[in-house]
């Protein structure tokens, strides 16, 4: 039985169209304890040629997603690496968060604590960023296992 379901997919552009983003959204099957975003950035120019610091760009993206969930991040830290399919190695970042508002998804958990984990790795034409929000470690661990099988 699946623990997560695919719920949405959107396309957008940044840096005057130099970066194309495809965001896929998954949520825990219960519809309330876990949220996972898989963001694939494809670049028309080498990432090294863009004014990007990868780790701070990823942290900014996580902050944007957290703001949409009305979650306040704290205690950001590097959390090691993760082996991904196709031989890639992802860098892991982790935060604590508290639900500060009544967002669509975590609004029922107002004042509760979330765990947030992001994984990112470079691929030939860009970058993959995965951001997971969970009300418990189990959800974050499930999301991390899903991230390990992402094909980019």
Q: Record the tokens describing residue 146, joined without a space.
A: 């899903």
Non-local CB neighbours of 123 within 8 Å, separated by 6+ positions: 88, 152
| Digit-coded pLDDT (tens) for 125-150 | 889 999 999 999 999 999 999 999 88
Q: What is the pLDDT of residue 120?
A: 95
Of the candidates 85, 95, 88, 147, the residue with the CA atom closest to the CA atom of residue 121? 88
Cβ atoms of 38 and 7 closer than 8 Å: no
CA pair distance 79, 67, nearest whole angstrom: 22
pLDDT over 90, % of the chain: 68
Binning pLDDT at 50, 70 and 90, where does residue 14 land? confident
What is the average per-residue pLDDT within 51-73? 91
CA pair distance 51, 53, nearest whole angstrom: 7
Can you tell me which residue has the tokens 């099957």?
29
């Amino acid at each position: 039985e699946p623990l997560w379901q695919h719920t949405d997919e959107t396309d957008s552009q940044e840096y005057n169209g130099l970066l194309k983003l495809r965001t896929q959204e998954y949520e825990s099957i219960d519809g309330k304890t876990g949220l996972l975003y898989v963001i694939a950035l494809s670049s028309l120019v080498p990432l090294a040629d863009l004014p990007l610091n990868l780790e701070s760009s990823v942290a900014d993206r996580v902050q944007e997603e957290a703001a949409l969930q009305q979650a306040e991040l704290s205690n950001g830290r590097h959390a090691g690496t993760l082996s991904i399919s196709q031989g890639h190695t992802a860098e892991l970042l982790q935060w604590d968060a508290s639900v500060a508002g009544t967002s669509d998804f975590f609004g029922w958990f107002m004042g509760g604590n979330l765990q947030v984990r992001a994984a990112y790795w470079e691929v030939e034409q860009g970058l993959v960023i995965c951001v997971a929000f969970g009300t418990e470690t189990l959800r974050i661990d499930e999301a991390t296992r899903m991230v390990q099988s992402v094909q980019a």
